[in-house]
Structure 1
Amino acid sequence: MNSPYESKDGTQPVARRKQAIAIAVVLALGVAAGIGILSTGGRAGAGGEAAHGHEDGEDHNEGDAHAHAKSGADKGHGGEKPASTEKPHDDAGAPDVITLTPEQQKAAGIVVDTAKAATLTATYQLPGEVKFNEDTTAHVVPRVVGVVESVPAALGQVVRRGQVLAVLSSPAVSDLRADLQAAQKRLQLARTTYEREKSLFEARISPQQDVQGAEQALREAEIAVTNARQKLMAVGATPDSSALNRFELRAPFDGTIVEKHIALGEQVREDTNVFTVADLRTVWAQISVPAKDLPLVRVGDRVTVRATAFDQSAVGKVAYVGSLIGESTRTAQARVTLENPKATWRPGLFVNVEMKGDAVEVPVTVAADAVQTVEERPVVFVQTPRGFQAQPVKIGRSDGQRTEIVQGLTAGTPYIATGSFMAKAELGKSTASHAH
């Protein structure tokens, strides 16, 4: 007898279909369960950890002894700390941040200002040296050979125009004076002869030819006297003197004897520089101008000249700018005329000449004293919520009062405008303590 599940040909198609359906259902349920476990496993684990943490919190509330025991157990388990959020960076403890109380800032003279736009007139400094004003400086030379008889002038003495500086005995001057006196005598004789011949001609005693000859001789005698007198004046000798050979060297103008190369009894040549007389009421500040700065230096510009050896300054005008550039120095020479009523500016003194350029608008500037150098780079101490921090900057132009900040600061940033040197000192102390 056949089973009810069998077909007439002995197969079991109905049972097989039911079995396949059951297997498919079981597999589908298994896949769904696996997906559910994977998706909820993370939340379940987190929930478990949270619950575990809650239990730990309750245990901690029960007593510190259990908390210390648990901490010891954690350290014993590999010494690793439990996961926590990253500790925030404390700027107040960083070596480049300075924390100062308002009282400390006041005691240190620190004044805070904000970076802002300003109009800068760029200032340039060029090296220079004080020189004699060559227009009021003279080298006194004898112009004749002679022997020094007396030297009444002394080095550094203030002299007046025409004052006797030295007296020489010169044979050349004696010859010139003798020639002048001889010419004067011939002129006197020629004039007498002419007057006589003229009277005789008017009386119709002498012919006109004699009068004309006498007049010609008179004119030649006059020329000879003028020539002899001019020769004496050319060497600086006076026509009249108690001695023919006496030659006096005199001051050409009011000034000071700044050089003296003459001594009593010395024989001097005609080209010997025996005295240098300079009027020091005005001097020159000679400037060496590099080729790149020549467009900045113009005749008539007002400049400030500052001495490098002491605290002294004066205002003058550029009087000359050279047209040639030196082959070795690659600089051109310029000069500034300075008034020197108290003889403060002495020739040979080194100076710095400050020149101002064109005014320009700059978006970000700080006080010139605010810029300090830390680790060989310029910095400005900016104010932060935790203190003052050295902010590296890139500086640009400056007029001595304010300095342009090209990079590193924005307008409105608070910074130390006065007293930045004290902040730099504090920063050095802080860096040294962190190094130890």
Structure 2
Amino acid sequence: MSNVITQPKVSAEPIPVDSAIDQQPTPNSELSAAVRPRNSRFRRVLLAIVGWIPPVLVVAGLVALAWYGHHNDWKLPSFAATASPTKTGPAWCDSHGVPEAECINCVPGLIQDSPKLTFCDVHGVHGCVLHNPLLAETKSLAEITDNDLVRAERALTVRPRRENLALSQLPGSRIQFASLDAMQSAGVDVEPVQRNAIIESVETAGEVRYDATKTAQVSPLADGIVKEVRVNVGDWVEAGQVLAVVDSEKVGRLKSDLLSALSDERLKQDAVRRIEPLANRNVIPGKRLLESQTELQQATSLVEKTVRSLSNLGLSVDLDRLRSLEPEQAKDAVRNLGTDQIEARDSDNLIVVIATLAGRVVERETVVGEVVDRGTQMFRLSDTRTVWLDLRVPAEEASLAKIGQEVRYRPDGQATEHRGKVIWISSDVDRQTRTVRVRAELENEDGSLRNESFGLGQIVLRDEPDAIVVPDSSIQWDGENTLVFVRDKRFFEKDRPKFFVARSVRVGIKQDGFTEIIAGVLPGEVVASSGSDVLRAQLLKNNLGAGCTCGH
């Protein structure tokens, strides 16, 4: 039997320090207890110190950044400042973006000083070119006409405009480019100030309606049966034209009553004529004469009452003529009442329905044989040569509408424009829509405007055929003023600095990509269009911080 020596297994796992220390034999148990706490405390302190290093570095970096920003006006160092001192080239004015030696804002005498601008209380701009055309950047002296002054006054009167700050120092500032190429690289383009026709208006939805003063509902004047209809929808009729014929039993009865009353009146007249001479000679008592006269008055009253009833039905009766006719002639005249415009008279009961005004038949609500009552609508007529346009104007703009103002209307789906005048403005505000009704009258000779159709209406406040305009992109707001940037009139002269002048303006309306300039620029000047925001940014930059840092 061989002797086998078994070696202890060695673990591959690392033994913790504390465990190793615990396993090491010590001279006595007191020394072992002292070593373990001392090593554990050192380890914890070391880990805490290492953990605090990143936050301390971050705080130190922020403090350094704050110190640098405070002492350098929070501006990053320029490339020129960080470059090697041996590098050659012109010094650069970082505030104005041009070489220091060419900076017209920093080097006195490079160019004539900017004129001092005073605030125009009339037009609300700094250095008003309407009052002082010498301030305009035009090659020749601009001419100001009375029409320009009147136009500006009219534009400022018609409604409030955005105002400029009188104490602002930005208008008149010059924004310089190092060269024409630098301007183009910045994306700045220019457009000339132009004259254009503009229309300032209150635009709102409009609805066409028939003119109520020229519209009529036609009804029969007596109950009856429709015997004939002579017109149809769309027909044009004249006032007094027969539209329909109605057989009315009431008419026949009144005609009979009139004939009977006329006959009775004649009998009473004959009786009075016979009795009056006898009573005067006392042949018969006077009481008999009074009774006869009373009966005559009653018969006369009945005749007149019947005539009035027929007149209410539209049958005109010449009573004096009837009394002068022989009985047979009077009978024929009464039977023919109201049938003069009817060719075939097969009944004494016929009554005509006539047009009360000239117009077009827009509705027909009857047919032959229909029983109709007095007041029943048979036809509706309207003179469509003029129509009403009802506009719903927002309450806040209702004060701009005035009686007599021009109105332009374009129906939906049509290109034709119709014109008219404001004839009525409501005193009420609709509680639901908060709008005010404004009514205009439009000409409609061709009949193209239809009842209850919709479109776009314009109440014209101003129609300016020669307003001064600039592209919409030229207008900038700096927080105090509405500005445009006007190019120097000598911009293309050799060795002339390339700059624009900030000009405060009063703007009117926007239309077709252009903005009206009430005051501030004149035709002949050139303004920055696309890229004008670059000039605005440079203007604001020039007025921030400590100012120019180029050393002058």
TM class, shorter-length: 0.5 to 0.7
- The question of 1:213 aligning with 2:277 is answered no
Q: Distance in 2 between matches of 1:279 and 1:120?
A: 35
- The question of 1:403 aligning with 2:515 is answered yes
C-alpha distance 115-342 of structure 1, shift in aligned 2 (>3 A): closer
Query: When the two structures are aligned, how many residues end up with a matched partner?
Result: 303
Q: Structure 1 counterpart of 2:397, which letter?
A: D
Alignment of 1:4-403 (within 5 A): 112-114=191-193, 122-237=200-315, 240=337, 241=339, 242=345, 243-357=347-461, 366=469, 370-371=471-472, 397-398=508-509, 403=515
Please report how far the alpha carbon of residue 136 of structure 1 lies from its aligned counterpart in structure 2 after TM superposition.
Answer: 1.2
Question: CA contact under 8 A between 2:189 and 2:528: conserved in structure 1?
Answer: no
Residue in structure 1 matched with residue 73 of structure 2 by the alignment: none
Task: Name the structure with the higher strand share.
Answer: 1
Q: Distance in 2 between matches of 1:46 and 1:320?
A: 80
Q: Distance in 1 between matches of 2:416 and 2:357?
A: 29
Residue in structure 2 matched with residue 414 of structure 1 by the alignment: 527
Question: CA contact under 8 A between 2:188 and 2:528: conserved in structure 1?
Answer: no
C-alpha distance 410-171 of structure 1, shift in aligned 2 (>3 A): same
Residue in structure 2 matched with residue 85 of structure 1 by the alignment: none
Q: Structure 2 counterpart of 1:403, which letter?
A: T
Question: CA contact under 8 A between 1:115 and 1:414: conserved in structure 2?
Answer: no
Q: Structure 2 counterpart of 1:292, which letter?
A: E
Using structure 1 for the length normalisation, give the TM-score: 0.57
C-alpha distance 120-194 of structure 1, shift in aligned 2 (>3 A): same
SS at 2:200 equivalent? strand
Question: CA contact under 8 A between 2:472 and 2:510: conserved in structure 1?
Answer: no
Residue in structure 2 matched with residue 33 of structure 1 by the alignment: none
Deviations 1:101-159 (A, max 9, x none): xxxxxxxxxxx42279x998732223222211111111011243322211111111111
C-alpha distance 230-358 of structure 1, shift in aligned 2 (>3 A): same
Q: Distance in 2 between matches of 1:234 and 1:399?
A: 61
Q: Which runs of 5+ in 2 are unaligned?
A: 1-83, 89-179, 317-333, 340-344, 474-483, 492-504, 531-552
C-alpha distance 189-291 of structure 1, shift in aligned 2 (>3 A): farther
Question: CA contact under 8 A between 2:236 and 2:359: conserved in structure 1?
Answer: yes
Q: Distance in 2 between matches of 1:399 and 1:233?
A: 63
Q: Distance in 2 between matches of 1:334 and 1:145?
A: 41
Q: Distance in 2 between matches of 1:190 and 1:206?
A: 17
Question: CA contact under 8 A between 1:395 and 1:403: conserved in structure 2?
Answer: no
Q: Structure 2 counterpart of 1:349, which letter?
A: S
SS at 1:162 equivalent? coil
Question: CA contact under 8 A between 1:119 and 1:359: conserved in structure 2?
Answer: yes
Deviations 1:229-258 (A, max 9, x none): 222332335662542321221111221111
C-alpha distance 323-196 of structure 1, shift in aligned 2 (>3 A): farther
Q: Distance in 2 between matches of 1:335 and 1:158?
A: 26
Question: CA contact under 8 A between 1:257 and 1:277: conserved in structure 2?
Answer: yes
Q: Distance in 1 between matches of 2:455 and 2:285?
A: 80
Question: CA contact under 8 A between 2:202 and 2:397: conserved in structure 1?
Answer: no
Q: Structure 2 counterpart of 1:263, which letter?
A: V
Q: Structure 1 counterpart of 2:469, which letter?
A: V
Deviations 1:268-308 (A, max 9, x none): 23332110011222221222232222211222333333334
SS at 1:181 equivalent? helix
Deviations 1:356-391 (A, max 9, x none): 33799xxx9525xx448xxxxxxx999999xxxxxx
C-alpha distance 191-399 of structure 1, shift in aligned 2 (>3 A): farther
Deviations 1:382-419 (A, max 9, x none): 9999xxxxxxxx9963286863369xx977443679xx
Q: Distance in 2 between matches of 1:382 and 1:149?
A: 82
C-alpha distance 159-92 of structure 1, shift in aligned 2 (>3 A): same
Q: Distance in 1 between matches of 2:296 and 2:405?
A: 60
Range that drifts further, 162-171 or 132-141: 162-171
SS at 2:356 equivalent? coil
Question: CA contact under 8 A between 1:121 and 1:359: conserved in structure 2?
Answer: yes
Alignment of 1:414-433 (within 5 A): 414=527
SS at 1:178 equivalent? helix
Please report how far the alpha carbon of residue 260 of structure 1 lies from its aligned counterpart in structure 2 after TM superposition.
Answer: 0.5
Question: CA contact under 8 A between 1:382 and 1:416: conserved in structure 2?
Answer: no
C-alpha distance 137-119 of structure 1, shift in aligned 2 (>3 A): closer
Q: Distance in 1 between matches of 2:463 and 2:210?
A: 34
Q: Distance in 1 between matches of 2:456 and 2:286?
A: 79
Question: CA contact under 8 A between 2:229 and 2:245: conserved in structure 1?
Answer: yes
Please report how far the alpha carbon of residue 323 of structure 1 lies from its aligned counterpart in structure 2 after TM superposition.
Answer: 1.9
- Backbone CA RMSD of aligned residues: 4.3
Q: Structure 1 counterpart of 2:232, which letter?
A: A
Task: Name the structure with the higher helix share.
Answer: 1
Question: CA contact under 8 A between 2:193 and 2:468: conserved in structure 1?
Answer: no
Q: Distance in 1 between matches of 2:427 and 2:274?
A: 66
Using structure 2 for the length normalisation, give the TM-score: 0.46
